[in-house]
């Protein structure tokens, strides 16, 4: 079953105008509050959140976004009540079992970044299989950050560099960046956080240096294609200067 309504031919046309961010990174926040407002258990919000994610993956594919990275579980989320952590792990397991085939059919590459050793053997095996199955897909790279922390990512990159025996002189931004979990992907153009909080919560730290930030009060289970379009519309109004002046940017374009 195809997730997408438009052909890939449209993608090129959209991309050339730079209207569409290549890479969108999302903190999917507000599931618990969504459920609480409906007097439902928090896990009902997480379940609804998986549905919302399905819609956003489809919408990104239709709009020609080539990389979507979502924060599903932070290295700090283990601090939550044991019941909630257990239910989140079950949901992650079910999603891996049920959704990967559809991602593959839709030419979506699936990746997980984070410290996978924190997960059960079963989850780790499903992740490995899904990454292997979808490794040659090119339409959209969909990355889930799970047991991920931006600080963890920087530390593990430094550890890898040091294990290679590099000298202080050899350490550079480029050398370090090659060891991050998302080394092979473009840095996010647009960052979205739902749920009303205006913070990064230890998501991508290094990679967000020049990303356009967008915060919305929408709770994640309510975030749909229209909400995504509103975020992209906001992105289009931004002038990305990367340190230069507005005049320089306009002269170059």
Q: Where do contacts with ligand IPE occur on this chain (CB under 6 A)?
A: 27-33, 71-74, 77, 88, 195, 197, 199, 201
CB 10 within 8 A of CB 64: yes
Q: Which does 151 bind (CB under 5 to 8 A by kind): ligand IPE, Mg ion, none?
A: none
State yes or no: is 77 an active-site residue.
yes
Min separation Cβ 195 and Mg ion, Å: 6
User: Applying CB under 5 A, what is the total number of residues that bind Mg ion?
Assistant: 1
**Near Mg ion in 138-167, by CB under 5 A:** none
d(CA 189, CA 212) in angstroms, rounded, equals 6
CB 185 within 8 A of CB 23: yes
Nearest residue by C-beta to ligand IPE? 32
Min separation Cβ 31 and ligand IPE, Å: 4
Out of 23, 29, 49, 61, the only residue in the binding site for Mg ion (CB under 5 A) is 29
Q: Does 71 bind Mg ion (CB under 5 A)?
A: no
- Nearer to ligand IPE by Cβ, of 28 and 227: the residue is 28
Q: Which does 160 bind (CB under 5 to 8 A by kind): ligand IPE, Mg ion, none?
A: none
State yes or no: is 202 an active-site residue.
no
Give the side-chain half-sphere CA count within 13 A for 89.
18
186-210 burial, b at 16+ Cβ within 10 Å, e below that, comes to: ebbbbbbbbbeeeeeebbbebbbee
At 52, list the tokens. 């919302």
First-to-last C-alpha distance (Å) of the chain: 40
Question: How crowded is residue 66: how many other Cβ atoms within 10 Å of its Cβ?
Answer: 20
Q: Which does 31 bind (CB under 5 to 8 A by kind): ligand IPE, Mg ion, none?
A: ligand IPE
24 beta partners = 68, 190
Min separation Cβ 42 and ligand IPE, Å: 6
Of 21, 26, 1, 25, the closest CA to residue 11 belongs to 21
Catalytic residue among 10, 19, 29, 189: 29
Bridging pattern class, strands 67-74 and 140-148: parallel
Catalytic residue among 19, 77, 202, 222: 77
Min separation Cβ 73 and Mg ion, Å: 11
Catalytically annotated residues: 29, 77
């Amino acid at each position: 079953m195809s997730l997408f309504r438009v052909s890939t031919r449209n993608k090129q046309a959209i991309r050339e105008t730079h209207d569409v961010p290549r890479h969108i990174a999302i903190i999917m926040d507000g599931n618990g509050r969504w459920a609480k407002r409906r007097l439902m258990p928090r896990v009902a919000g997480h379940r609804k959140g998986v549905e919302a994610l399905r819609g956003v993956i489809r919408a990104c594919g239709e709009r020609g976004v080539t990389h979507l990275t979502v924060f599903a579980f932070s290295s700090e989320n283990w601090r939550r009540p044991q019941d909630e952590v257990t239910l989140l792990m079950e949901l992650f397991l079910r999603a891996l079992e049920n959704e990967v085939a559809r991602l593959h059919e839709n030419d979506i590459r699936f990746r997980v970044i984070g410290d996978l050793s924190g997960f059960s053997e079963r989850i780790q095996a499903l992740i490995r299989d899904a990454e292997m199955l979808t490794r040659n897909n090119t339409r959209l790279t969909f990355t889930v950050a799970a047991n991920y922390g931006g600080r963890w990512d920087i530390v593990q990159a430094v550890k890898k560099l040091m294990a290679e025996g590099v000298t202080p002189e050899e350490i550079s931004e480029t050398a370090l960046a090659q060891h991050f979990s998302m080394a092979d992907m473009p840095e996010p153009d647009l960052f979205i956080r739902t749920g009303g909080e205006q913070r990064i919560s230890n998501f991508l730290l290094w990679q967000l240096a020049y990303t356009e930030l967008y915060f919305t009060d929408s709770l994640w289970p309510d975030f749909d294609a229209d909400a995504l379009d509103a975020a992209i519309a906001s992105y289009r109004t931004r002038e990305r200067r990367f340190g230069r002046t507005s005049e320089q940017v306009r002269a170059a374009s």
